[in-house]
Amino acid sequence: MSETTMTNTTAPARPDGLRGIAADWASDQRAFKNVSWGKAMMWIFLLSDTFIFGTFLLSYMTARMSTRVPWPNPSEVFGLHVGGVSVPLLLIAIMTFVLISSSGTMALAVNYGYRRDRRKTVLLLLLTAALGATFVGMQAFEWTKLISEGVRPWGNPWGAAQFGSTFFMITGFHGTHVTIGVIFLIIVARKVWRGDYDTGARGFFTSRRGNYESVEVMGLYWHFVDLVWVFIFAFFYLW
C-alpha cells in the first residue's frame, strides 16, 4: 500500500493596504529587472519634478489671465540695447541657444562614456558644465538688469505686480536646477578622469566596474533641465 505525501501549497495571505501594494510591486519580476536602481530613481525624481514645474507654469498662466492690470510686454522688458537700438529677447535667445547646445554635448558625453573613451567623455562633460555655467551667468545678468530697473517680487514699473513674483520664482527654481547640474557634471567628470568607473572604485555616484551608467543618469537630469527651459521660454518669454 503506497503512501501519499501531502504538501501544503496554500499561499500566504496577502497583506492589506499599503503593505499589500508594496508586496505586489516587490514581487514583480519585470518592473526593474533590466533597469538599475540609479536610473529608476532618477526617472521617479524627474517625474516628481515635472509636477512641480507644471504647477509653477499653471500658476503663472492663472495669474496672468486673471489679473486686470496690463501684463508687461516681454519683448520690451527683456530687450537689450545694441548700438543704440533695442533688440527684443536677444539675451534670452542666446541663453536658449547655449542651453540647447549643452544638451547635444551631454548626449555625446553619454555616447563616448559607453565606448569607455575617458578623455572625450571628460572633455564633453566639462564642456556641458561650462555651457551650463554660462547660462547661469547670463541669467544672473538678466536678474541684475531687471532688479536695477525696479522689478521686485511684489511689483514692477511696467504693470501687473504678479510679473515679478512669477519671474523670480520660475526662473530662479530652474536656475537652481542648472547650477546643481553643473556641480554634479564636474563631480562625474572628475570620477571619469580618475578611472573610478573602470576600476569600480567605491564611493558616491559610482557603479559596477566598467559601467559608465552614472554618466547616462546625469544625462537624463540634464536633458530634463533643458526640456523644462523650452516650456519656460515658450510660456514666459514668447507669450
Residue 170 lies in a domain: yes
Residue 183 lies in a domain: yes
| CA separation for the pair 129, 136 (Å, rounded) | 11
CATH of the domain at 131: 1.20.120.80
Q: How many domains does the chain have?
A: 1
pLDDT at 3: 46
Cell 530652474 maps to which residue? 174
Phi, psi of 85 (to 5 degrees): -115, 135
pLDDT at 103: 95
Closest CA to 168 of 139, 208, 134: 139
Low-confidence ranges of the chain (pLDDT < 50): 1-9
pLDDT digits (tens, 9 = 90+) for 139-191: 999 999 999 988 888 878 888 888 889 999 999 999 999 999 999 999 999 98
| CA separation for the pair 80, 85 (Å, rounded) | 8
pLDDT at 78: 84
pLDDT at 86: 75
Residue 53 lies in a domain: yes
**Predicted model pTM:** 0.81
| CA separation for the pair 24, 38 (Å, rounded) | 21
Residue 7 lies in a domain: no
pLDDT digits (tens, 9 = 90+) for 5-18: 444 445 556 667 77
Q: By residue range, what is the domain housing residue 179? A: 36-237
pLDDT at 12: 58
Residue 16 lies in a domain: no
Residue 10 lies in a domain: no
